[in-house]
Structure 1
Amino acid sequence: MYNLIRCELFKLRKSRLFLLILALVVVYSVVMSILTYSSVQYGGGSEVVQGIDMYFEQLSNYLLVAVAGSLIATTYVCGDFDNKTIQDSIACGRSRSSIIFSKSLVYFLTIFIISLIVPIISSAVISTAYGFGMQFSMASILKLTAITLITSFAYSACLSPCILLSFLSRKPVVVLAGGIFVLYLGISFLKDAARIEPAISSVLSFTPYGACDALFTLDAATGDFLKSIIVSVAFIVTILAATCMIFRKSEVK
């Protein structure tokens, strides 16, 4: 397992698509900061956006994470089926479950990286003009760190179905469509419906798609943290277990 993870990390570092996505995310962060600054300075608005506001705004940018995560899954998993890397690993005696777990761990790492880059860079740029807007203390720093890490973990859980789709269909188009149209647009539709129907809101709150919504504020309570962690872990375990069951029974050519 350890060697598989090292191999996956090496492939990730050499992946041109991943490096391109990282570069685009950095550019997006800077551009959004400049646009926000320009709208405050020259847009006639009186409200000043501080670093903490920008931080939470971009931390909650699930669309960006969903698009980037889906794109990475199309090449990171589906690409290995196309170039026979996974088939060769199985032929060499690697278990299918170890392949799934190693790829999942590294894939979740990419989600962590993508989801952290935008809020950190955007808030840093805005803070140079308007300040961060928060008194820094050990407690506030620890809480902000916890919010960030748990939200990133929840995003990993939200996009874990991309792993299932990748091993199930092995087609980039299906994974990309599932990540964007189902995991983003579908969930967005349900969240809009949840404002009208409490039952939908209750169901969503027990999934990572709804559990992390309570974290986008410094007023988040300890219970919100624990709920998001438990829900995300349960969701990931369920998705990976389903992936293992399906992949074990599937034929690999």
Structure 2
Amino acid sequence: MYNLIRAELFKLRKDRSFLVLLLIIALLSLAYPLLYYVDNKTGGKPQFTGAEFLIKFVASNGYVIKFSVAALAGFFIASEYTTGVMKSVASSGNDRGRLYTAKLIGFSAGAMVISLIFPLVSLIEVSMISGFGQLPEGVSALFIPRVLGFTLLYTAAYAAIGALFTAVFTESGKTISFLMIFFLAINMILGALAEYIPVLTTVYDYSVFKLLGEIGKTQMDGGDWPALLLAPLLTIVVSGLLGVLIFRKKEIK
């Protein structure tokens, strides 16, 4: 198992799609704060400090997570079905459950690295321009590590979902298209269905799709933590197990 994970991490480091995604997100992370800097300077408004920018725009990182998971799933995993690599790996004699788990770990690691680029690069850039500043009164100094930790956890949950649907579709184009539409529309779909199926309201309220938008809250009480922690962990476990079941029964051509 250890060697399988090492192999996936090695492929990740050499994967062009992963490196291109890193570059694109890094450039966007540099450009995004500059737009606000120029706009505020032109309008005579006070500039954001690094801390203020992180608090105000950390929610925007949710779109980066969704985009990166969808794109990386299509290029890093699904492309191996098309090129025949997955067929060779599946027929190598290794247990398919282990193969899928190793692939999921490597894929999740790549998505998690990408998910940290926007908050960290933006924070560093704005802090260099306007200073880090101070966190607002009442916001704990643990806010930044908490946000980054939840970012990694929720990215892993989204990656588990992405890997699951990749095992279903196996083609890059279908995988990327479906995941992009799914991630962007699922909140609206569940919200609309909840009006007719009340139980879906509870499902949606405790799903990673809604809770992703709450990881940047500046104030959290003890009641927030169980849902914020259990939702992504359960998503990883359930999606991972379903992915293993599908991959084991899949006829790989």
Q: TM-score range by the shorter chain?
A: 0.7 to 0.9
Matched, 1:175 2:175: yes
Q: Structure 2: how far apart are the matches of 1:225 and 1:47?
A: 34
- What are the superposed Cα offsets for residues 73-112 of structure 1, whole Å, 9 maximum, x if unpaired? 1121111112222222222211111111111111111221
**RMSD of Structure 2 on Structure 1 (CA):** 2.6
Structure 2 residue ranges without an equivalent (≥5): none
Partner of 2:217: 217
Structure 1 match to 2:144: 144
Q: CA deviation at 1:198?
A: 8.4
Q: Map of 1:85-234 to 2, 5 A cutoff?
A: 85-135=85-135, 140-188=140-188, 190=190, 201-234=201-234
Show the counterpart of 1:53. 52
Amino acid at match of 1:55: L
Partners of 1:56 and 1:194 in 2: how far apart? 30
Further displaced range: 84-93 or 30-39? 84-93
Write the mapping of 1:9-88 to structure 2, written as runs, cut at 5 A. 9-44=9-44, 46=45, 48-61=47-60, 62-88=62-88
Equivalent-residue separation in structure 2 for 1:74 and 1:184 (angstroms): 16
Q: What is the alpha-carbon distance in structure 2 between the residues aligned to residue 82 and residue 129 of structure 1? A: 46
Distance in 2 between the 1:113 and 1:63 partners? 15
Say if 2:111 and 2:156, in contact at 8 Å, map to a contact too: yes
* Deviation (angstroms), 1:47: 5.2
- How many Å apart are 1:158 and its aligned residue? 2.6
> 5+ unaligned residues in a row in structure 1: which ranges?
none
Change (3 A) 1:250 1:22: same
CA distance in 1, matches of 2:188, 2:64: 13
Secondary structure of residue in 2 paired with 1:92: coil
* TM-score scaled by length of structure 1: 0.87
Letter in 1 for 2:164: L
The amino acid that maps onto 1:117 is I
How far is 1:144 from its partner? 2.0
TM-score normalised to the size of structure 2? 0.87
Shift of 1:189: 5.5
Give, in whole Å, the separation in 1 of the partners of 2:166 and 2:135: 44
After TM superposition, the structure 1 stretch with the greater mean CA deviation from structure 2, 153-162 or 15-24, is: 153-162
Between the aligned partners of 2:153 and 2:165, the Cα distance in structure 1 is: 19
AA aligned opposite 2:180: I
Partner amino acid for 1:217?
K
What are the Cα deviations for residues 46-82 of structure 1, in whole angstroms up to 9, with x where unaligned?
3542222322344322222211221111121111112
- Contact 1:162/1:178 (<8 A) preserved: no
Please state if 1:241 is matched with 2:241.
Answer: yes
- Contact 1:59 1:116 (8 Å CA) reproduced: no
Identity %: 22
The answer on whether the counterparts of 2:167 and 2:243 sit within 8 Å (CA) in structure 1 is: yes
Give the whole-Å Cα distance in 2 for the aligned partners of 1:112 and 1:223.
26
